[in-house]
Structure 1
Amino acid sequence: MVHIKTDETVKLIADLVSIPSPSGNTNEVITFVEKFLAELQIKSVRNRKGGLIATLEGKNTSKHRMLTAHVDTLGAMVKEIKSNGRLKIDLIGGFKYNSIEGEYCQIETSSAKKFTGTILMHQTSVHVYKDAGKAERNQENIEIRIDEKVHNAEEVRALGIEVGDFVSFDPRVEVTTSGYIKSRHLDDKASVAILLQLMKQIKAENITLPYTTHFLISNNEEIGYGGNSNITPETVEYLAVDMGAMGDGQSTDEYTVSICVKDASGPYHYGLRKQLVQLAEENNIDYKLDIYPFYGSDASAAIRSGHDIVHGLIGPGIDSSHAFERTHQASIEHTAKLLYHYVQSDMVL
């Protein structure tokens, strides 16, 4: 019976979500992952896009597998410095302004200075703005209130803040006694933690994998092209590990591993899907099959790039994706177990 150290994975998730890493500004979190792997004596290399690739050699070196999870998150950039000293923002990734209203944030300048602030509606005060609740949550009305004594654009620029500076959101991570993990950016740092713990377990148990297996920690998934390159010609199977989307009409929940059969890019490989289901059933792993209607993964990006691969997508079920996300330790554990058995299984082709 496989033993998954879920407590360690949850601690690692909390560490990862606490490192700001909006798409385009991921060096700090990639460095964290590099050091984690180095401590395991697993070599890794950065690609030119800034992602990280670790490789564990298997018995068969002519056929490869690739597993990927992305460490980049939603975020924003400074769009405009307003005359009143507030900041307009431009969003990074696919989410709505209402999901960040009232959120604490951090602005990082090009010289690495960091300033805190709060994302608010311009018309926030009900004592001043009669229709505060009716105003549209959009780029025109949402702004950042900086935690500095500034009254105009000149004073903001004197701090070193400029258009193009990255804005990250406070994750507000919390682990409850009932086993829930609540935080922004569980998409997809929960899966990154699972893959890192998987590599740690493979090393600790001295497992020789049947096929050489690459682990790509991608850093541009939220903007569509994180995992579409650096795929070796020998790679046959490509499995993205990303969040399972929950909502009306979905079967995914917070307590099982979600196996995606189709997303906005189309169906995933039927044979690989059936193999994942078989592995789950043979090893008492709780799973759900699901379709994510407005979703794309690193695996679908790889397919669109023209790679001749078998592609799949699994992950822990995440509630309220791209907002205040939540999952349960049970989902983390079942996802980890399925991956543990998958990397030791035979290939579909």
Structure 2
Amino acid sequence: MTKTNVEETIHLLTQLVSIPSPSGNTNEVITYVEKYLKELGVETKRNRKGGLIATLHGADNENHRMLTAHVDTLGAIVKEIKPSGRLKLDLIGGFTYNSIEGEYCQIETSSGKKFTGTILMHQTSVHVYKDASKAERNQANMEVRIDEVVHNAEDVRKLGIEVGDFVSFDPRVQVTESGFIKSRHLDDKASVAILLQLIKQVKAENITLPYTTHFLISNNEEIGYGGNSNITPETVEYLAVDMGAMGDGQSTDEYTVSICVKDASGPYHYEFRKNLVKIAEENEIGYKLDIYPYYGSDASAAIRSGHDIVHGLIGPGIDSSHAYERTHQSSIENTANLLYHYVQSKMVL
């Protein structure tokens, strides 16, 4: 992957994370991806769930590949308008309330109006609440302070805000001189950017892929079923491109591509995993093998839904997953290089 390609991928990543797209409200970001691909002359279609499928026809049209990355993110939804004029939230996706305390957010009404706010503990002021540091960060205590003049629930409803409105979190994306990318929603918009850049590179280099290859930009992964449909009967290999989770006992780091051995759904296909390792080693690509104990992917969702496929999972290493995340450009580069060589390789079966 050239320096220019890395820079383009990171620029694309910053664009993607800046588009609000909590699971259930992803049309804006899907439209952005759709426009990007159409400008490359790539065939696309939407499924009924609102995801996007791009197809590059290959030399072999009897055996297909599918690669997927998800564009939906963590977020929240308005559960209750409190008498004080603040909002109570219900979370979308698997994360903790403490990871969003103090975060700026956006509330989008069903009519499309957008308002800003801040997610806070009800007992935030240490000058008023003795238990400010000890109170539990949960649905009962956390609330949104809207940046509008409101004194009660009626004032909030006059703005057009209602139960069921989506709440997205400010990504606060930054790219440092040392090569780090800090942002919310690197899970999984980093991988979406990598796949889009891969498609662009294949088109620019006029590469004929060995197999017809589909790219599913799924939009419900964070709630468990994003990539479980629209898999052609000819699909043999299904590769989810998601994040590598970091923490105590993990091998994954922010500098290599993580190849998943097993997650909460069980082991990934052994021969497929070994082939990915072989491709990485043959092309001197930095990688780590790892197990993610509390994790599921589009590929595991596809397996659970009954598809007869070979499934795998790779992705850049992401620190502090489902919070304020971080990765490094070298992890982006290693993931992209593995995918570039993978889509031009022979299948394991």
Class of the TM-score when normalised by the shorter of the 2 chains: over 0.9
Q: Aligned equivalents of 1:256 and 1:24: distance in 2?
A: 32
Per the alignment, residue 219 of structure 1 pairs with 219
1:245-288 deviations in Å (ceiling 9; x for gaps): 00000000000000000000000000000000000000010000
Per the alignment, residue 147 of structure 2 pairs with 147
Paired positions, count = 348
> 1:1-349 maps to which residues of 2 (within 5 A)?
3=2, 5-349=5-349
Q: Aligned equivalents of 1:67 and 1:333: distance in 2?
A: 17
State percent identity of aligned pairs: 84
Indicate the SS of the match to 1:63: strand
Indicate the SS of the match to 1:154: helix
Indicate the SS of the match to 1:162: coil
Q: Aligned equivalents of 1:65 and 1:43: distance in 2?
A: 16
For 1:189, the aligned partner's letter is K
Q: Aligned equivalents of 1:210 and 1:325: distance in 2?
A: 35
1:118 Cα deviation from its structure 2 partner: 0.2
Structure 1 residue ranges without an equivalent (≥5):
none
Q: Aligned equivalents of 1:141 and 1:296: distance in 2?
A: 29
1:43 Cα deviation from its structure 2 partner: 1.6
For 2:137, the aligned partner's letter is R
Q: Aligned equivalents of 1:164 and 1:3: distance in 2?
A: 45
1:155-206 deviations in Å (ceiling 9; x for gaps): 0000000000000000000000000000000000000000000000000000
**Aligned alpha-carbon RMSD (Å):** 0.5
For 2:70, the aligned partner's letter is H
Q: Aligned equivalents of 2:87 and 2:268: distance in 1?
A: 42
1:228 Cα deviation from its structure 2 partner: 0.1
Q: Aligned equivalents of 1:43 and 1:308: distance in 2?
A: 25
Q: Aligned equivalents of 1:227 and 1:316: distance in 2?
A: 19
Structure 2 residue ranges without an equivalent (≥5):
none
For 2:105, the aligned partner's letter is C
Indicate the SS of the match to 2:302: helix
Q: Aligned equivalents of 1:21 and 1:324: distance in 2?
A: 16
Q: Aligned equivalents of 1:130 and 1:293: distance in 2?
A: 37
1:3 Cα deviation from its structure 2 partner: 3.4
For 1:197, the aligned partner's letter is Q
Q: Aligned equivalents of 1:123 and 1:188: distance in 2?
A: 33
1:42-101 deviations in Å (ceiling 9; x for gaps): 021000000000000000000000000000000000000000000000000000000000
Q: Aligned equivalents of 2:144 and 2:290: distance in 1?
A: 37
Q: Aligned equivalents of 1:8 and 1:134: distance in 2?
A: 45
1:226 Cα deviation from its structure 2 partner: 0.3
Q: Aligned equivalents of 1:206 and 1:11: distance in 2?
A: 23
Q: Aligned equivalents of 2:300 and 2:171: distance in 1?
A: 27
Indicate the SS of the match to 2:278: helix
Q: Aligned equivalents of 1:347 and 1:132: distance in 2?
A: 57
Q: Aligned equivalents of 1:126 and 1:286: distance in 2?
A: 48
1:129 Cα deviation from its structure 2 partner: 0.4
Q: What is the TM-score of this pair, normalised by structure 1?
A: 0.99
Q: Aligned equivalents of 1:274 and 1:122: distance in 2?
A: 51
Q: Aligned equivalents of 2:187 and 2:317: distance in 1?
A: 10
For 2:319, the aligned partner's letter is D
For 1:186, the aligned partner's letter is L
Indicate the SS of the match to 1:332: helix
1:196-226 deviations in Å (ceiling 9; x for gaps): 0000000000000000000000000000000
Q: Aligned equivalents of 1:236 and 1:112: distance in 2?
A: 41
Indicate the SS of the match to 1:144: strand
For 2:326, the aligned partner's letter is R
For 2:2, the aligned partner's letter is H
